[in-house]
Structure 1
Amino acid sequence: MAASEYRSSAYQALTDRERAERAARSGGEPILEFGDSLTPFVSYVRSDVLLSLQNFRTKSPSEPAFLIATQVMELMFKLGHIEVLQVRDLLDADEIDAALWALRRVRSVQSLLTDVWELLSPLSPADYGEFRDQLGDGSGFQSFAYRQWEFALGNKNAAMARPHAGDRATHGELLRVLSEPSLYDAVIRLLGRNGLPIPADCADRDWAQPYRARPEVEQAWRQVYQERDRYQVLHRLAETLVDVAYEFGKWRATHLLVVERVLGSKPGTGGTSGVDWLRRAAEHRFFPELWSVRGVL
């Protein structure tokens, strides 16, 4: 097939039948000519843009690993946020099986995020010191992609949107996510629709406010666990949510260990106390009643 044909069709959607026909005409050989256009892969993935975003500030041999690992985490935070919103909306539509299927992808994102720390754990204090000053007041807690994901899961804190007040679009997006029901809000409403005694002010509240654990919600979960035959799907959902919370806790704990290994007791960037601040953050658990109910079963 002529290169000119690919210039006109490279970015069009193709069916399996069309792909099979093209493979038959080329004898199964890959297409190597795309004229003066970007390849369809580069055009779709935009790897030309993505791979231009690594602006290293020093000649430290360790800085590329730090910056690229951090950028990978940013992409995974974005994907985690997208997936959590899909799960929330599926639960609101009472499509629990589909939500459980989608939660598999959330856990895959979390597993990858924890593994990314392995790229940074070999950094010695001397390695990190070669480029750390270039971060200035930059700190991971300023990541708006992470904050979107955390808000969507249910850990709401309006103060964490304040660092982005200078960027109107980003700040507005964070405030929007803050004001919407989280995944756990959707779960609690689902419990109520399934006949469990959920207080009205849990099912309909100011979503921007931090969620506070309630004994009534813990009792509802206790009923789910004690009557597993009756609430089989809700029981599976409960344990899958604990998986998500567990993986998030593991990511935070790994973060803490890596920073402690690399930074020790030095102050963190962005004004934090470093390891002590991360240790307090690592104590947080998503979906609190799913943890507290374990003590009364």
Structure 2
Amino acid sequence: MAITPYEQYLNLPSLMALQSPATPPSEPTTRASERHFIVVHQVAELLLSQLLLDLNAIRDVIDKEPGNGWDGGESGDQAAVRAAQRAEGLTAMLVHNLALLDHLPPDHFDAFRPRLGEASAGQSPQFARLFAIVHDAVSQLQPKSKPLPPQAARSVREIHHLLGQWQTKHLEIVKRMIGDAPGTGGTSGIGFLRDRIRHHAERAAALQKVGGRRPRSAMPRTAINTLQQLSLRRPSYPSGRRATSGSAKDPPLATARAMSSRDDLSADVGRMGSRTVLVTGGSSGIGTAVARAMAAQGDQVWITYHRAPDRAHALIGELPTHDLVRHRAFPLDQGCWTRVNELVDRLPGPVDVLINNAAVGSKTVEAQGGGSQPREDELFMRINALGPLWLTKLLLPGMLERGYGKIVMVSSVGGGITAFPTFREADEMSKAAVAFMTRQLAAQLTHSPVDVYCVCPGATDTPMFHASTLNNLSPSARHRLINHLPAGRLIDPSEIAHMIRWLASPQGEVLHGAVIDASLGLGAHPGLLTGPATA
């Protein structure tokens, strides 16, 4: 049958003939797995070839001036941005492509591994060239006459972060496949890969010591400061808080501190592919959901707890992990300045993302207040408002010094967004204080590399909401209350957690200073609690 113009244009017959598993057809299952393995690596090489072309194109176009013959009359800056953004997308595809090997069973790999001989991904000249650009600041990416446009610089920084993710993912896959066995290319296997990641992180640590304060778009610390690593001058931003488009990847931990000579816990902090996220009140409810969401994307998670150490440590044991992070749980009495200060002194490394989630509800303060109304009011203010303020003020200077930080306050629709007549005044005052603190900090940090947000959940399916509200109702009254809520349901903690995870990502930067109503609409229509129920 004649080939179609599409097949001819893409040379598909030749392309499809390139997959030649060494496993014989008599072993169809293993042969299919080997073909999958081959396809993943061939796709990676195709992506790499285009990625390198685009990175070289940045050099080629940056010194061009408008009208010098670029397609469509593009200026050099426009073409550089286009090439950099395309390269960023290709690098993201490279990471996702590697993740396809998660579907390769280790026993299948063991079956065809001997047929690889000495073949190893480490022998790829394109990978070698790409990481040479990352680690050795190859001069051809350096524009001699003017700096890289801010949008292009951001994309290149994102490429560095994604390559860090690729390294970490590669280590995870290799460990799952071969354990501590030597690599097929004659390397030590896992040890070799760890050394490469350590080298990458040490380079990043050294680069952090160069230069003064970085702009808001500073490169993730473990993914290498691109503007310096590529010998590019920092972009000159227009007047205002930051450039109008693009964003840097969330930086991981402070590698300079983590890569110190001490072989203790601090040496586990600051590895490639993760930030350190501190979640207060992480042993229950929204805090637990946030801890799971952040750990699932590779972040190192530290949580605080007050009265549930067993539950907190059980959660830490359940969080997904890899060799480059160590999740931890710390006790904290958030309403006590001394205890907050002691916590910060105990932390084994810098905090990149702070989630001020811990708070108390009416049942907790009633139990602790001993029947004293003034004492209960004080507990609301100290734990819900002053605690987050103290912790933020202690951690913020380090974020500013290191050139990166994300702070997410968790308030409530009651107080943070609107007022409910039946709520306790001190409770709503404490939540309103958190929302105002967010706005105040955001105003102070407008030109800094630290973002601040506030999320105000509505009725959420947490132990606190059950204790303060639902447990006091009969089954029929509980049913009526839930039916009065927006959408006739409670919010799942994971819904709030995914929002917080997004705010702590590069895309969340545009919402700096936002106090977000996350109540399914209850904040916009508080009368729903006393209005007609849903059908």
TM-score by length of 1: 0.58
Q: Aligned runs of 1:1-297 on 2, under 5 Å? A: 38-58=3-23, 59=27, 60=30, 61-93=32-64, 95-151=76-132, 153-156=133-136, 181-183=139-141, 185-186=142-143, 189-190=144-145, 193=146, 234-283=149-198, 284=200, 285=223, 287=226, 289=228, 295=402
Q: Which amino acid aligns with 1:57?
A: A
Contact 1:137/1:269 (8 A) holds in 2: yes
Shift of 1:116: 1.1
Higher helix share: 1
> Which one has the largest radius of gyration?
2
What letter matches 1:44 in structure 2? Y
Cα distance between partner residues in 2 of 1:71 and 1:82: 17
Aligned counterparts of 1:52 and 1:237: Cα–Cα separation in 2: 37
Alignment check: 8 A CA contact 2:119 2:185 kept: yes
For structure 2, list consecutive stretches of 5 or more residues without a partner in the other structure.
66-75, 201-222, 230-250, 257-399, 404-448, 450-535
- Helix, strand or coil for the counterpart of 1:269? coil
Is the strand fraction higher in 1 or 2?
A: 2
2:15 and 2:154 mapped to 1: Cα distance?
Answer: 37
Kindly indicate whether the alpha-carbon contact (under 8 Å) linking 1:100 and 1:237 is maintained by their aligned counterparts in 2. yes
Secondary structure of 2:185 counterpart: helix
Structure 1: gaps of 5 or more residues: 1-35, 158-179, 195-232
| 104 and 234 in structure 1: CA distance in 2 versus 1, 3 angstrom threshold | closer
4+ residue runs over 6 A deviation: 290-294
Q: CA deviation at 1:54?
A: 0.9
CA distance in 1, matches of 2:19, 2:2: 24
Query: Who is 2:277 aligned against?
Result: none
Deviation per residue, 1:108-165 (Å, 9 max, x gap): 11111111122211323212100001111111111123234344x35459xxxxxxxx
Query: What's the C-alpha RMSD, in Å, of the aligned pairs?
Result: 2.8
- Give the secondary structure class of the aligned counterpart of 2:103: coil
Contact 1:80 1:109 in 2 (8 A): yes
| SS, match of residue 265 in structure 1 | coil
1:279 positional shift: 2.0
CA distance in 2, matches of 1:236, 1:42: 36
Question: What is the CA distance between 1:106 and its match in structure 2?
Answer: 0.6
**Percent identity between the two aligned chains:** 27
Secondary structure at 1:266 match in 2: coil
For CA contacts below 8 A with separation 6 or more, give which structure has more relative contact order.
1
Q: How far apart in 2 are the matches of 1:45 and 1:235?
A: 35
